[in-house]
Amino acid sequence: MKEEKLRFESYDLQASGFVRPSAVLRRMQQMARDDLNDFGISYEDMRKKNMAFVVSKIALLWSRPLQGEIPLTMRTAACATHGATFPRSFVISDERGICLRAMTLWALLDFEKRSLLRPSALWKEIPVFEDLSDGLSCARLSAKKEESPDLFDRRRVYASMLDQNLHLNNCNYADLMTDLLPEDRAVKEMHITFQKEAKRGDLLAISGWKEEDSVLISGHFEENGNPCFLGRIRTFEDENV
């Protein structure tokens, strides 16, 4: 388990003044990488062995919106593997208690072939700890293919949006989702399922369907119609939470 102090800066805030979900994901990504480094599993060593971790699902649940420029504590813990999946949980707290819980599911890939590897392919074992997410699970999502979307956008993937795995970084998907919302509200819950990696030059068609208390979002490649990601986002009802 890893714990560190952090604070979100002014550039991490959305127009409403609350911390962007993408800023949270950036901190989570870096903390997961630092935790693996502590265990002797660096990204550089993985690439030398033609391996890479990629995230397949993300679930985030806020008990209250995160504020900028205040002291926070973030913890992460690798959980027991399930089949070929490496779960990792997170929690962010302020002086009043827990603000956010998160669960992420990771897969180990052959970097060149982009094929799934079993956990046994990793040369070191990752120590596991108790789940910090309090039972939060990644939602099973399905697209509403037969219904016309309520919201629609198109986004091109540019070089500045890529990471070292040569695909659209997971943090950018949170921005694609929040940008689709008609109002700038603080996010209460977010789920993302990554279906196929987006690369430089890809044009994504992003559709949203308004549900009772959330928005279901589907992204697909405009060139061939293949799915890229699915997501669901729910905001706090009170815009001044």
Buried b (16+ CB within 10 A) or exposed e, 176-206: bbbebbeeebbbbbbbbbbbebbeeebebbb
Q: What phi and psi, each to the nearest 5 degrees, are found at residue 229? A: -155, 160
3-state secondary structure of 135: coil
Q: What is the pTM of this model?
A: 0.95
Instruction: Say what the pLDDT of residue 186 is.
Output: 93
Residue 179: partners with Cβ closer than 8 Å, 6 or more residues away: 153
Q: Residue-wise pLDDT tens for the chain (241 aa)?
A: 999 999 999 999 999 899 999 999 999 999 999 999 999 999 999 999 999 999 999 999 999 999 999 999 999 999 999 999 999 999 999 999 999 999 999 999 999 999 999 999 999 999 999 999 999 999 999 887 778 999 999 999 999 999 999 999 999 999 999 999 988 889 999 999 999 999 999 999 999 999 999 999 999 999 999 999 999 999 998 655 5
113 exposure class (CB count in 10 Å sphere: 0-12, 13-18, 19+): exposed
Residue the block writes with tokens 């079993």: 118
- Ordered domains of the chain (ranges, CATH): 2-235 (3.10.129.10)
